[in-house]
Structure 1
């Protein structure tokens, strides 16, 4: 049985991270809001018993990616803000997780998600429908998707963990969500 490892979260109001997010280095206007320890624990609960590759879309300062690495995933974070990517890489190195957690400066809309068995997204409400369309095109049956803060608008979650802003919705990609031509 996969048990959750204690998650050591740096100060939630990390001055360095706050300064990075205020520098306006993002190409799109998604704010960097660090995940709380409750949110991280809810994500890990939703993924309990899972293994494989995990991608954290919009990984910010890397908290989710690092927690996933601590819990046995080969974890990848993609983020547009280069300073947050560098901070995440340094944090992974400092905590000895640099082999299990990798961070890349990459646009989520240009990232192939089909190679991952687990996807985590902390998005804003306005991006959830376009993201749902991308997931519909790229995900394989059985992929676990955890949406944080906002649910996917058309999909039915199999599990909801937490309440309010700490809520996460778990979706398991079934065949009927996929836009795949099954004709031979």
Structure 2
């Protein structure tokens, strides 16, 4: 019995496949497919998209954060799998993907649609797309309130413009910036890496402080607090406070050499004196 020759079916490119379908679709199908070659070409171009360092964006040019500094920034924020991270100006997605690899739920905010598509492909390749997502959006119009950690590599002017929005986040929210500060808001921590980092190798951490400025009553004694970001001055029963500071919702200060520590819970502070002791104190906002 004579065997029949095997017909090999050529593998078609997306462009060629779309074109063949259009040629066999009849007149109506051909009219409907008139734009298909250009669409297929656009899809191919999107798959091949590679960003260039220094390319312009909406607010800043694109320069990626070195991977070694990404890891340092995540370390500074003391991230855990329970945290939700948001990266502002997420570019090729490396910070979001690195966070997702540590078990976090992470989202990138990026204005460039091609960058968003690239980041999504990279997350798929890294097998973290279930935790690493990307949204094409304007960072100034994005709700940041669901994030426990904010990361960014933006210009100082952009950081300063974002400052009021960042300061309104929940106390304890951690903000980490590559290279640039946030106006006159002094960072809580500064770190620099020297290995495998070609330049701009410094990262800054801030912890959003609770808002405590004003008059309080500490068990009948007047407590007056003056606040500048996380730094505190003021008086307790007319005596000057020293070394006053906030770390998120944790407050500490000294009066007459005695250290007070406590937790801010809205309009109430609960703590101990000395700070590591067992004698409790409370204060109520007036």
Report if the CA contact (8 A) 1:57-1:78 is conserved: yes
Name whichever structure is richer in helix by fraction: 1
Residue range with higher mean Cα deviation, 97-106 or 119-128: 119-128
Cα separation, 2, equivalents of 1:155 and 1:66: 29
Report if the CA contact (8 A) 2:167-2:209 is conserved: no
Cα separation, 2, equivalents of 1:56 and 1:38: 16
Cα separation, 1, equivalents of 2:119 and 2:187: 30
Cα separation, 2, equivalents of 1:93 and 1:172: 32
Residue range with higher mean Cα deviation, 121-130 or 87-96: 121-130
Report if the CA contact (8 A) 1:45-1:161 is conserved: no
Match of 2:201 among 152, 166, 171: 166
Question: CA-atom RMSD, angstroms?
Answer: 2.3
Name whichever structure is richer in strand by fraction: 2
Matched, 1:68 2:79: no
Matched, 1:58 2:93: no
Q: Which has the larger radius of gyration?
A: 2
Cα separation, 2, equivalents of 1:125 and 1:173: 18
Segments of 5+ residues of structure 1 without an aligned counterpart are 1-14
Task: For CA contacts below 8 A with separation 6 or more, give which structure has more relative contact order.
Answer: 1
Aligned-residue offset at 1:159? 1.4
- 1:18 counterpart residue number: 52
Could you list the per-position Cα deviations for residues 149-176 of structure 1 after superposition, in whole angstroms to 9, with x for gaps in the alignment? Answer: 1011222222111156111111111113
Query: What TM-score comes out, normalization by structure 2 length?
Result: 0.53
Query: What TM-score comes out, normalization by structure 1 length?
Result: 0.80
Secondary structure class of the residue paired with 2:51? helix
Q: What is the number of residues matched between the two proteins? A: 163
Segments of 5+ residues of structure 2 without an aligned counterpart are 1-48, 194-198, 212-228, 231-265, 268-284
